[in-house]
Structure 1
Amino acid sequence: MTDRLYSDPDLVQFYDIENEGGVDFDYCINFAKDAGSVLDLGCGTGQLATALARQRSVTGVDPAPAMLDIARRRAGGESVDWVEADARKVRLGRRFDLVLLTGHAFQVFLTSKDQEAVLGTIAAHLAPGGRFIFDTRNPAAEEWLEWTPERSERELEHPGLGTTKAWNDFRRDPASGIVTYSTYYEIPDGGRRMLSAESKIAFPTRENLEGMMEQSGLVVEEWLGSWRGGPFGPASPEIIPIGRLLEDVSKRFARHRA
């Protein structure tokens, strides 16, 4: 993990302030209601994993020690099995009723090879009858246009540091579609201390994802366009596939034909 936004404790301390549970959090809690076991890939600081662990077995996987340090100290964190690992390579030797990858974590995987590897990890950990769900921003919505200093400037209330000014900036490679965005925090600790990080994310299309799913042993049963539950459309802000193992669907179809 080389992205300082997730690996530097000075920056990670802002993660929960910037990413309080919202409609995605609520949707996943409800979606998991019938799951006895959950694998949270890219679990970050563990907000969702610890909430899910109140009623089921949960394993949270993340490659960033600084994020997992917060997750382990979180109230309820002792109920989760935390694993420091890369979602492209991790193999836990067990399967789960639900595998999820939220917070746009899928977008940190920049190449189709890496994206296919993550989908392979999802398939390798799904129990028979299990389901998966993850999110990625729809490139057609061009959300990166909002990540300018003028449009993104905000004030954060840090419990120890006080009011902190934050903003973003970006540049986009038109050939690859990869967006490099910068995050800045100006901290009022006597002077004006500056923290910053540069991150890269990919914006695969729905067509890109469809092409990788079957090869990875997965099939999508529903495409959402937002965490409010609406169906995907060309202008939707999100691409959210929900599905199962391809072999589960194939067996169901074979029984139906018989």
Structure 2
Amino acid sequence: MWHGEYRHPRLVEVYDAERLWGWEDDFFMRVLAERTAPRVLDMGCGTGRLAIAMAGIGHEVTAVDPARASLEAARRKFGAARVRWLEGSFETVPAEAFDAAFMTGHVAEHIVTDEEWSGALHRLRGALVTDGRLVFDSRDPAGRPWREWAPDRTRRHIVLADGSVVEAWSRITSTEKDVVSVVHHYRFDDGLELTSSAAHRFRDETQLRDSLRAAGFRVNEIYGGWGREPPGLGGDGELIVIAIAEPRMLP
């Protein structure tokens, strides 16, 4: 199943059990607090952990995801009523409606082609007011993060909310230029086995800067880790981008 962790109810449960609040969430909340941003877009919100936290401190949050199962899980969480949930993708987002847009959890990596990436950035620029901020994360290809996706390095046991245990592991199926395809395997206590496939596009700092500039953004900061380290210098192997929406050119 393509992106099964977001689309299959059993795998959504696994996703939620494994991905708890972490340093990256603290980072994004700090960034949000640095400038006034009453209206916030959470693009690719998944099961809503960050969106609910942002709404909980008073922001007007719109959370968008194409996966219905993820949104259903998000809506069941405490505090979810404060968030506006939308099933859809970049074309769903209203124009000039947000002061900040977040795209976290390495969502950027799943936008594989240059055409899709350019379209996504242009729609995000259209969704932001001038001087609004776009904040997103993507793994730095310089660190070759896919090396950690071998079965012997990814095999683990995940405890679900009901106490049952899921055995999980991953396997790379292809590596072509900047795109790495991977299959994630899950074996449940009741004997069910599910797989989830995905493709990751790893863009370097230059590619990110050039694509953002072409879409109408000015790069404000790029960090290599959640402690705001420079890229490639003892960070977390990330490229964490904060970009500013430039004024639109008149025709």
Name the TM-score, length of structure 1 as normaliser: 0.89
Give the paired residue count: 245
Query: Cα distance, 1:161 vs. partner?
Result: 5.6
Query: Cα distance, 1:247 vs. partner?
Result: 2.2
Distance 1:195 1:171 in 2: 16
Q: 116-125 or 160-169: which moved more?
A: 160-169
Distance 2:234 2:204 in 1: 12
Distance 1:57 1:28 in 2: 16
Contact (CA 8 Å) 2:2, 2:196: kept in 1 or not? no
Query: Cα distance, 1:2 vs. partner?
Result: 4.5
In the TM superposition, 1:72-83 aligns within 5 A as 72-83=75-86
Contact (CA 8 Å) 2:37, 2:99: kept in 1 or not? yes
Which residue of 2 is the match for residue 63 of structure 1? Answer: 66
Larger radius of gyration: 1
Which residue of 2 is the match for residue 166 of structure 1? Answer: 168
Q: 1:110 to 1:234 in 2, by over 3 A?
A: farther
Which residue of 2 is the match for residue 256 of structure 1? Answer: none
Runs of 4+ in 1 over 2 A off after TM superposition: 1-5, 171-174, 233-236
Which residue of 2 is the match for residue 39 of structure 1? Answer: 41
The amino acid that maps onto 1:108 is H
Contact (CA 8 Å) 1:140, 1:235: kept in 2 or not? no
Q: What secondary structure is seen at the aligned counterpart in 2 of 1:228?
A: coil
Query: Cα distance, 1:56 vs. partner?
Result: 1.1
Distance 2:156 2:175 in 1: 26
Contact (CA 8 Å) 1:5, 1:198: kept in 2 or not? no
Contact (CA 8 Å) 2:17, 2:161: kept in 1 or not? no
Which residue of 2 is the match for residue 226 of structure 1? Answer: 225
Structure 2 unaligned regions, length at least 5:
none
The amino acid that maps onto 2:121 is L
Which residue of 2 is the match for residue 178 of structure 1? Answer: 179
Deviations along 1:28-83, one digit per CA (max 9) or x if unpaired, are 11111232111000000000000000111000010100110011111111100001
Q: What secondary structure is seen at the aligned counterpart in 2 of 1:188?
A: coil
Q: Structure 1 vs Structure 2: percent identity of aligned residues?
A: 31
Name the TM-score, length of structure 2 as normaliser: 0.91
